[in-house]
């Protein structure tokens, strides 16, 4: 066990075993940092004090307003930075302690920014519990389409509208189906969240060359919490035959701190068995997931936060490696900063459902909050709070939370 001279609460997501990367600013411009407890290590300032002598070319990456250049230097570099900071946190004579006033910035005093420039974003549908329960609502005799257990189903989402935690989300307008098949144009009445994880791609793959499933994990830099906001009434009208479009392109939210692949290795667990056996390009052993505790709370306007979902990630059917192998099987190339999201993560029980579509059975059975308040879908000024962490003995590694508040729709439309 590593012991830090800097006090870190035992329930902190940002333990010395974590040290996630993010982009922050104070009175100075946005730059890279590592989170530890209630502090941010200013990596640009640490570089200026020669804390990372083996990578003299890395200074500009620490000063950029996104992490893409830092990520592109490879996992060897990011792990080197984490190890240097970990060692400094264990040594009271280190420069980090001696110059703490210069190198450590209180987390409560900083503004967090979008951690990376997302080039491409793909959203998968990899939780069997989610896919089955949604399918059962609309196709009770055939919940899973025939292809679902043969390939990781996905759609290509919109990268430009991915926003960092804390960014408000206005209620979107759109077309919704009405009796008789004539649509209405109005603000959505069925705004929903989706509890997901997103894998951050850390290096280029070559166009025209698939990534082998056995090598796929080498392309992952780290993970984020991900909220794929969805307008269910718009989605029902538009998704056939090509899938969701405007019902999901208006906003997706990410947590500000990227938890590295190495920090999450404490929480590897076997993935569930697959039946039937996938095609050879998707078959690999051992298939592994992460055992992470995940939750969603809703905080109504001027109300109390209420837990509506508590689930985990260990039973995801299609692993990150399989998602990457399938994504690139045609020769589609990946680039640093791309996001591959899991799709909604749900468990079997009603309090384990990662979206309101499932938790309310498509709005027919409300979720009860405190003091008689209920929700079928999200209302204006509701704040959605997602959390995720891994815990193994005294080792805790988490994401620090993901928040987003619903704003009213525009009162007039151009």
Mark the binding-site residues for Ca(2+), compressed into ranges.
123, 194, 196, 228
Q: Annotated binding site for substrate: which residue ranges?
A: 125, 139, 235, 239, 344
Structure tokens at 115: 């951690």
- Report d(CA 121, CA 200) in Å as an integer: 10
Neighbours of 330 (CB within 10 A): 8
- Beta strands of 161-281 (E only): which ranges? 162-164, 169-170, 173-176, 184-187, 191-192, 195-201, 220-227, 230-231, 252-254, 259-260, 268-270
Distance in angstroms (rounded) separating the CA atoms of residues 168 and 391: 30
Task: Please list the residues that pair with 24 across neighbouring strands.
Answer: 31, 112
Three-class secondary structure of residue 103 per DSSP: helix
Return the ∠ at Cα 155 (arms to 347 and 170), rounded to 5°: 80
The pair of three-digit structure tokens given for residue 26, joined into one six-digit string? 């104070």
**What secondary structure does DSSP assign to 323-338, as a single string?**
HHHHHHTTS----TT-
CA dist 157 and 178 (Å) reads 26
Point out the annotated binding site.
Answer: 123, 125, 139, 194, 196, 228, 235, 239, 248, 252, 344
Per annotation, catalytic residue among 130, 312, 326, 327: 130
Helices (H) and strands (E) in the chain, counts: 10, 27
Burial of 9 (0-12, 13-18, 19+ CB in 10 A): exposed
Token reading at 392: 């193994």
Could you list the residues known to form a binding site for Mg(2+), using ranges: 228, 248, 252
- Backbone dihedral region for residue 220 (phi beyond 0: left; psi -120 to 50: alpha; all else: beta): beta
346: region left, alpha or beta (phi > 0 left; psi from -120 to 50 alpha)? beta
Question: Among this protein's residues, is 130 annotated catalytic?
Answer: yes
CA distance 228 to 355: 10
Concatenate the DSSP letters of all residues of 373-389 into one string: -EESS--TT-EEEEEEE
Task: Find, among 63, 72, 85, the residue nearest to 2 by Cα.
Answer: 85
Question: In angstroms, what is the C-alpha Rg of the chain?
Answer: 22
Tokens 């990372």 -> residue: 52
Q: Kindly list the catalytic residues.
A: 130
């Amino acid at each position: 066990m590593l012991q830090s001279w800097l006090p870190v609460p035992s329930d902190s997501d940002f333990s010395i075993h974590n040290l996630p990367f993010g982009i922050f600013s104070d009175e100075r411009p946005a730059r890279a940092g590592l989170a530890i407890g209630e502090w941010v290590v200013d990596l640009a300032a640490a570089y200026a004090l020669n804390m990372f002598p083996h990578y003299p070319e890395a200074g500009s990456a620490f000063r950029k307003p996104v992490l893409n250049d830092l990520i592109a230097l490879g996992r060897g570099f990011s792990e080197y930075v984490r190890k240097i900071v970990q060692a400094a946190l264990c040594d009271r004579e280190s420069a980090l302690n001696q110059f703490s006033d210069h190198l450590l910035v209180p987390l409560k005093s900083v503004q967090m920014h979008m951690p990376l420039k997302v080039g491409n974003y793909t959203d998968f549908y990899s939780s069997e519990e989610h896919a089955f329960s949604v399918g059962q609502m609309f196709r009770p005799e055939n919940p899973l389409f025939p292809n679902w257990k043969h390939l990781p189903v996905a759609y290509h989402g919109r990268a430009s509208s991915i926003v960092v935690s804390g960014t408000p989300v206005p209620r979107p307008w759109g077309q919704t189906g009405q009796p008789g098949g004539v649509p209405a144009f109005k603000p959505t009445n069925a705004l929903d969240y989706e509890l997901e994880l997103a894998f951050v791609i850390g290096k280029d793959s070559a166009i025209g060359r698939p990534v082998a499933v056995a090598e796929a994990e080498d392309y992952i830099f780290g993970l984020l919490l991900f909220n794929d906001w969805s307008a269910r009434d718009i989605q029902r009208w538009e998704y056939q035959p090509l899938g969701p479009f405007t019902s999901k392109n208006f906003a997706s939210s990410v947590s500000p701190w990227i938890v590295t692949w190495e920090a999450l290795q404490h929480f590897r667990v076997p993935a569930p068995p697959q039946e039937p056996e996938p095609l050879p390009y998707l078959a690999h052993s051992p298939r592994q997931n992460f055992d992470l505790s995940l939750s969603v709370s809703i905080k109504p306007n001027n109300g109390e936060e209420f837990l509506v979902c508590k689930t985990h990630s260990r039973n995801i059917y299609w692993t990150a490696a399989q998602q990457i192998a399938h994504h690139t099987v045609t020769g589609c190339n990946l680039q640093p900063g791309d996001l591959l999201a899991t799709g909604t993560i749900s468990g079997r029980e009603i309090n384990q459902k990662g979206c309101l579509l499932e938790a309310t059975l498509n709005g027919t059975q409300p979720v009860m909050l405190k003091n008689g308040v209920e929700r079928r879908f999200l209302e204006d000024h509701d704040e959605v709070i997602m959390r995720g962490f891994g815990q193994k003995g005294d080792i805790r590694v988490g994401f620090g939370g993901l928040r987003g508040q619903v704003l009213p729709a525009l009162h007039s439309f151009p």
